[in-house]
Amino acid sequence: MKYTFRGGAHVKEHKHTAACPIEPLRDVGQVAIPMSQHIGIHCTPTVAVGDYVYRGQMIGDVANGLGCPVHSSVSGKVLAIEKRQNVMGTVIEHVIIENDGQGTLAPEIVPRTKGLSETSNEELIEIIRRAGISGMGGATFPTYAKIQSALGKVDRVIINCAECEPYITVNHRLMLEEPMSILGGTQILLKIFGVMKARIAVEDNKMDAVRVLRRARDASRRIRIKIMKTKYPQGDERQLIYALTKKEIPAGKLPADVGCVIFNAETCAAIYHAFVDNMPLIDRLVTVDGDCIRTPKNLRVPIGTSYTDLIAACGGLKKVPDRVINGGPMMGFAQWSLDTPVTKGTAAVLVLSKDKVQKQTLPSACIRCGTCVKNCPMHLMPNYLAAFARTKQYAEAEKLNVLSCVECGTCSYRCPGQVEIVQYIRVAKGAIRAEQAAARARASAAAPDLGNGGKK
């Protein structure tokens, strides 16, 4: 039996790099490491211009609050600390480090001698925090914080290897080449949560990876490999949990509220390396693909490497690019410059020409075909939401649960009328959230007067 959910669409897979082994990329001139690669408070640099830093040395940290530290991915000299735009267009501090090519590891990075059973949960969570691990599927929520918030509430751990976005194959390659790191990371998570059940969810277009994982796991049956139907957005945590457990996460709630906690495959491997090798998160796997790339590849790259270096490592461009995407084509962010660095959330860099991206052939018009309704994984009525957003009737959109939208983009992808449905929905969500925030601010500003308010 294959696990699946209602809605979604089969998006053309484009998994051209599925057979490309992971190649390490070490030869980069300099790296630009953003001081915030996670949801939460930005890091403050802990190094100064001119300092020599080791590979794996912490270069930025958050004193208190939500956030995790950032480490140098190369050894060399700090050239500059300057404000640059990150992938989202926000201006944040970047530490620019010149790579001396030696890759000298920081002296504190030595394999751990203490076994898993002798390590307490508090120690494990601190190890994960210090390693700077944040969700590598793209959301980049600090992993230690996710673990803390879910402790004691869950009865199963789910490892997300669905990889439903087109083009991206890094999780596929990771399962094939390093199954032990995923399984090892899963064991650590099982220990932290004190639960017996872990499920590794893999889409059925990666059956070779399923076989590898099944051979590699231990006989205890605590970790099981589940085969999911290949369908976008199978990797969305709501859909994945529903497919596996038939439980729906209520609107505005988290996986822990239905007893699950879910981690991306590469995050899981990073946890393993943080524990066993004491290695912080400084490299990540990136699929470099798209019709403009001469030789598409899967690369293991130091965080902070510029897209220019990635493209050069893949033989350069063979077509004039129209769009450079950080992440997958369904939910990734278009970039305006090839100087953008790889961050902890960059699973792919796609360079697409005009032939591959969506084009407008006619003025967009909803023909009420109902495709968006049929395919919406959240069971919304996207065409209505888009129409209300277009006419700024946000209250109406809110009544139709616009805030439940996960912005997977299936509606816009499938719309024959070429309506920018999810784009309109984002506008409505943004406006409603801003209004809610403003209302909260008004309420808190008005609060001190409440005592006298009634007597006027």
Is 35 a binding residue for another protein by CB under 8 A? The answer is no
Q: Order of strands across the sheet with 76-85?
A: 30-34, 91-99, 76-85, 52-53
Is 334 a binding residue for another protein by CB under 8 A? The answer is yes
> In this chain, which of 66, 139, 196, 367 binds another protein, going by CB under 8 A?
367
Is 341 a binding residue for another protein by CB under 8 A? The answer is no
What 3-state class would DSSP assign to 261?
A: strand
Using alpha carbons, select from 358, 353, 361, 332 the residue that is nearest to residue 414: 358
- The 8-class DSSP code of residue 52 comes to E
Nearer to another protein, 369 or 447 (CB): 369
Is 184 a binding residue for another protein by CB under 8 A? The answer is no
> In this chain, which of 256, 373, 431, 432 binds another protein, going by CB under 8 A?
373
C-alpha Rg value of the chain to the nearest Å: 23
Contact 214, 226 (CB under 8 A): no
Is 294 a binding residue for another protein by CB under 8 A? The answer is no
Please count the helices (runs of H) and the strands (runs of E) in the chain: 14, 17
Is 383 a binding residue for another protein by CB under 8 A? The answer is yes
Contact 410, 233 (CB under 8 A): yes
Is 180 a binding residue for another protein by CB under 8 A? The answer is no
> In this chain, which of 3, 9, 310, 389 binds another protein, going by CB under 8 A?
9
What 3-state class would DSSP assign to 63?
A: coil
- What is the contact mask toward another protein in residues 392 to 421, using x (rule: CB under 8 A)? --------xx--x----x--xxx-xxx-x-
Distance CA 158, CA 223 (A): 9
Stretch that binds another protein, among 16-24, 137-145, 217-225, 349-357 (CB under 8 A): 349-357
Stretch that binds another protein, among 98-106, 271-279, 327-335, 444-452 (CB under 8 A): 327-335
> In this chain, which of 368, 433, 440, 442 binds another protein, going by CB under 8 A?
368
Is 263 a binding residue for another protein by CB under 8 A? The answer is no
Using alpha carbons, select from 232, 138, 144 the residue that is nearest to residue 189: 144
Is 11 a binding residue for another protein by CB under 8 A? The answer is yes
Torsion of CA 9, 12, 16, 17, to 10 degrees: -20
Distance CA 280, CA 271 (A): 9
Nearer to another protein, 283 or 291 (CB): 291
> In this chain, which of 362, 444, 448, 455 binds another protein, going by CB under 8 A?
362
Nearer to another protein, 180 or 427 (CB): 427
Cα dist from 297 to 27, 284, 320, 356, whole Å: 16, 14, 19, 19
Shortest distance (Å) from residue 425 CB to another protein: 11
Distance CA 106, CA 420 (A): 48
Judged on CB neighbours under 10 Å (0-12, 13-18, 19+), 454 is: exposed
Shortest distance (Å) from residue 238 CB to another protein: 7
- The 8-class DSSP code of residue 340 comes to P
Q: What's 90-137 look like in SS3?
A: CEEEEEEEEECCCCCECCCCCCCCCCCCCCCHHHHHHHHHHCCCECCC
Is 357 a binding residue for another protein by CB under 8 A? The answer is yes
The neighbour count for residue 436, using CB atoms within 10 Å, is: 12
Contact 161, 206 (CB under 8 A): yes
Shortest distance (Å) from residue 246 CB to another protein: 12
Kind plus residue range of the DSSP H or E element containing 437: helix 421-446
> In this chain, which of 21, 29, 250, 453 binds another protein, going by CB under 8 A?
250
* Residue count (the chain): 456
- Which residue is associated with the tokens 């590699």? 216
Nearer to another protein, 79 or 373 (CB): 373
Is 197 a binding residue for another protein by CB under 8 A? The answer is no
Is 296 a binding residue for another protein by CB under 8 A? The answer is no
Shortest distance (Å) from residue 416 CB to another protein: 5
Is 207 a binding residue for another protein by CB under 8 A? The answer is no
Shortest distance (Å) from residue 352 CB to another protein: 7
Is 139 a binding residue for another protein by CB under 8 A? The answer is no
Amino acid 146 reads: K
Amino acid 412 reads: S
> In this chain, which of 209, 366, 386, 397 binds another protein, going by CB under 8 A?
366
Is 161 a binding residue for another protein by CB under 8 A? The answer is no
Nearer to another protein, 67 or 321 (CB): 321
Interface of this chain with another protein, residues 426 to 455, rule: CB under 8 A:
426
Q: Which residues bind another protein (CB under 8 A)?
A: 9, 11-12, 166, 238, 242, 248-251, 253, 317, 320-325, 329-337, 350, 352, 356-359, 361-363, 365-370, 373-374, 377-381, 383, 400-401, 404, 409, 412-414, 416-418, 420, 422-423, 426
